[in-house]
Amino acid sequence: MTDDPSSSQAPIGWLERLFLAFGAEPKDREQLLGLLRDAKRRSLLDTDALSMIEGVLEVAELQVRDIMIPRAQMVVVSRDDPLEEILPVAVESAHSRFPVIGDDKGEVVGILLAKDLLKYCGLSAPRFNMRDLLRSAVFVPESKRLNVLLKEFRASHNHMAIVVDEYGDAAGLVTIEDVLEQIVGEIEDEYDFDEGASILKRSENAYTVKAHTSIEDFNDYFGADFPDGDFDTIGGLVINTMGHLPKRGESVRRGRFHFKVLRSDSRRTHLLDVRVDAGEQTGRDDGGD
Question: How far, CA to CA in Å, does 68 sit from each of 74, 140, 145, 162, 278?
Answer: 10, 11, 12, 9, 33
Closest CA to 277 of 261, 264, 259: 259
Question: Percent of the chain having pLDDT more than 90?
Answer: 38
pLDDT in tens, 179-233: 887 777 654 444 555 556 789 888 888 999 988 899 999 999 999 999 887 788 9
Output the pLDDT for position 15: 58
Output the pLDDT for position 97: 93
- Please compute the mean of the pLDDT values over residues 72-78 and round it to a whole number: 90
pLDDT in tens, 254-283: 999 999 998 776 667 888 999 998 765 443
Confidence of residue 14 (pLDDT cuts 50, 70, 90): low
Output the pLDDT for position 32: 77
Question: How far, CA to CA in Å, does 133 sit from each of 114, 155, 172?
Answer: 10, 23, 22
**Comparing 65-184 with 199-276, is the CATH topology the same?**
no
Closest CA to 74 of 111, 99, 107: 99
Confidence of residue 99 (pLDDT cuts 50, 70, 90): very high
Residue 22 has pLDDT above 90, yes or no: no
Contact 226, 215 (CB under 8 A): yes
Contact 128, 119 (CB under 8 A): no
Euclidean distance between CA atoms 161 and 258, whole angstroms: 30
Output the pLDDT for position 141: 96
Residue 44 has pLDDT above 70, yes or no: yes
Residue 2 has pLDDT above 60, yes or no: no
Residue 137 has pLDDT above 90, yes or no: yes
- Which residue did the predictor score with more confidence, 269 or 165? 165
Domain boundaries, the chain: 65-184, 199-276
CATH 1.10.10.60 given to domain 199-276: no
Closest CA to 266 of 54, 9, 105, 116: 54
Pick the CATH number of 65-184 from 3.90.550.10, 3.10.580.10, 1.10.260.30, 1.10.10.10: 3.10.580.10
Euclidean distance between CA atoms 144 and 131, whole angstroms: 30
Output the pLDDT for position 215: 94
Euclidean distance between CA atoms 190 and 23, whole angstroms: 46
Tell me the DSSP string of 103-116: SSTT-EEEEEEGGG
Residue 55, by phi and psi: left (phi above 0), alpha (psi -120 to 50) or beta? alpha
Output the pLDDT for position 46: 76
Residue 197 has φ and ψ, to the nearest 5°, of: -80, 145
Output the pLDDT for position 7: 47
